[in-house]
């Protein structure tokens, strides 16, 4: 007859590790969930729990098979951990969305990766390191989010007008005076009708500079259409 109490007693330490992995992964997932990210509470719990489970199963199998240094069979924990970290990359890649003008999901992908490392740490029984790691992850995701960091902003300005290209030179000069750097400018003109169009890719730092520039261009009656994206 199977003694279930002995089984629970022998595996208690492994069960504890899985529960700790679930709690710590949930803390990180809660932060992601409150920000409306695609990888939220459940995803981070499952990643952390699964990573810990692989390491726990690996250690338990190694003990049960009594694989010591003299054994011809080698079960290196570092290989199992490396496999977990590498294998989790497919899940992180699925959270990255790239469009023409921006890339989203990099922080979420990095969070999934580090949560898998957190699960490996818990699975190895390094509780202090795991708790400190969880604190550092939350500090990075939550506290650093509120630090005001001035970054470059990228936009595309599209103009339509009738006439010559002198107006475009005026607009470009005004953009430079406003501190807006022009990365690329594409111009087309129809000689028969005199219709001109230009797409200007710009870079700037001030948060409200785009609206100020857009309002100034709107006031120029020589422009037929203005689009800022």
Structure tokens at 24: 């710590």
Contact by Cβ (8 Å): 99, 154: no
Residue 135: per-residue pLDDT: 92
Low-confidence stretches of the chain (pLDDT beneath 50):
1-2
Q: Is 52 left (phi over 0), alpha (psi -120 to 50) or beta?
A: alpha
Q: How many residues does the structure list for the chain?
A: 229
Question: Is 1.20.1050.10 the CATH number for 153-228?
Answer: no
- What are the two backbone dihedrals, phi and then psi, of residue 98, each rounded to the nearest 5 degrees? -115, 130
Enclosing H/E stretch for 203: strand 195-204
Integer CA distances (angstroms), 54 to 12, 66, 78, 202, in order: 16, 18, 12, 49
What is the DSSP code (8-state) at residue 43? H
The alpha-helical segments, DSSP class H, found in the chain are 4-34, 41-64, 77-87, 89-93, 106-123, 127-138, 166-177, 209-218
> In terms of pTM, does the model score above 0.75?
no
> For tokens 């952390």, what's the residue?
48
Non-local CB neighbours of 113 within 8 Å, separated by 6+ positions: 85, 88, 89, 92
Give me the residue spans of the domains in the chain: 8-146, 153-228
Q: How far apart are CA 217 and CA 157, in angstroms?
A: 10
Residue 1: per-residue pLDDT: 43
Residue 65: per-residue pLDDT: 67
């Amino acid at each position: 007859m199977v003694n279930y109490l002995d089984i629970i007693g022998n595996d208690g330490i492994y069960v504890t590790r899985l529960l700790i992995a679930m709690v710590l992964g949930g803390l990180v997932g809660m932060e992601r969930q409150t920000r409306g990210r695609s990888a939220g509470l459940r995803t981070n719990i499952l990643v952390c729990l699964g990573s810990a489970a692989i390491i726990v199963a690996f250690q338990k199998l190694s003990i049960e098979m009594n694989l010591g240094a003299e054994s011809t069979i080698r079960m290196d924990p570092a290989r199992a951990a490396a496999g977990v970290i590498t294998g989790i990359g497919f899940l992180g890649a699925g959270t990255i969305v790239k469009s023409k003008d921006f890339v989203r999901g990099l922080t979420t992908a990095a969070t999934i990766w580090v949560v898998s490392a957190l699960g490996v740490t818990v699975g190895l029984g390094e509780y202090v390191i795991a708790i400190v790691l969880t604190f550092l992850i939350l500090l990075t995701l939550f506290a650093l989010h509120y630090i005001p960091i001035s970054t470059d902003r990228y936009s595309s300005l599209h103009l339509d007008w009738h006439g010559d290209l002198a107006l475009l030179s005026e607009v470009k000069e005004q953009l430079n005076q406003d501190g807006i750097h022009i990365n690329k400018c594409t111009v087309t003109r129809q000689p028969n009708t005199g219709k001109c169009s230009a797409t200007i890719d710009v870079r700037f730092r001030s948060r409200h500079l785009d609206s100020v520039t857009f309002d100034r261009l709107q006031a120029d009656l020589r422009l037929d259409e203005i689009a800022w994206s």
